[in-house]
Amino acid sequence: MERRNSTATTGKEVMNRPLLFGHRGCPAEYPENTLASFAACVDSGIDGIELDVQLTKDGKLVVFHDDTLQRIANVDEKISSLDYKNLQDIDIGDGQKIPSLEQVFSLCGHAILYDIEIKAKDMANHHLEQKLHQMIMSFGLSQKCRISSFNPVSLLRFQRISNHTIQTALIYSMDDSVPKLLRKGFARHVVNPSYLKPEKEQVSKALTFGYPVVAWTVDTIEEAETLLAQGVHGLI
């Protein structure tokens, strides 16, 4: 795919209004977290895309949400157990493949903002943050990216590596899959992120903490209007 050009509003022009990010691209039209899905977002003029990054067995940064391929491709394998070249043999819908972060940056460039979630359940997985920072800097996208994670240790590592020059966001949720200690955003006291990213049901409380708030996942116009009226700074 060729690099996308867009008239999407970015940079200083959007700082005074809430920003809208496509959750894993445009999954209503294309398979989630794919080049086709992200290209559709750029073409739509949306402010940004939300995407997930993790490492393959051979250390390649790829864009994929789940730990395993089961839900998306009906393959019982972990992303971390396969080399990148092996992943390219797997169809994740409509002929789409799992993209590398490098491919996404090459495609979208500076035409859009990026909310990049680090998928890091392993506290020792420090190579991910280092490689992510290097990739962002190699494309000159430090002012276009916000780095998010449920994992406060991962965010702290990224802040140290980047010398706090790239925005960060602490994600949290009441979902059972999230450790109890991380469900209400208490880690903000340690991380001091640029943004909080609570699930939409926790927005009212989050807005009392004094941080800009980005709400997720917003699926209807009615939900968006309600959250915007509450004063959120962004929607995913």
Which one-letter DSSP state was computed for residue 134? H
Quick check: 7 pLDDT over 60? no
CA dist 4 to 61, 63, 107, 181, Å?
21, 18, 6, 41
Q: The dihedral of CA 177, 34, 57, 113: what is its sign?
A: negative
Quick check: 138 pLDDT over 90? yes
CA 143 – CA 53 distance, rounded (Å): 18
Which one-letter DSSP state was computed for residue 160? H
Domain boundaries along the sequence of the chain: 20-201
- pLDDT tens, 75-122? 999 999 999 999 999 999 999 999 999 999 999 999 999 999 999 876
Model pTM score: 0.93
Task: Give buried/exposed letters for 103-135 (b at 16+ CB in 10 A, else e).
Answer: bbbbbbbbbbbbbbbbbbeeeebbebbebbbeb
* pLDDT of res. 161: 97
Residue pair 152/178 in contact (Cβ under 8 Å)? The answer is: no
CATH number of 20-201: 3.20.20.190
Tokens of 56: 């393959």
CA 158 – CA 181 distance, rounded (Å): 21
Averaged pLDDT for residues 179-197: 96
Top-confidence residue, 149 or 125: 149
Model confidence at 11, pLDDT cuts 50, 70, 90, reads very low
* Pick from 37, 47, 51, 41: nearest CA to 113: 47
Report the range of poorest mean pLDDT among 20-29, 44-53, 62-71, 113-122. 113-122
CA 182 – CA 49 distance, rounded (Å): 24
* pLDDT of res. 85: 97
Is cis: bond before 217, omega within 30 of 0?
yes
The fraction of the chain above a pLDDT of 70, given in percent, is 92
CA 202 – CA 172 distance, rounded (Å): 9
Tokens of 33: 């977290």
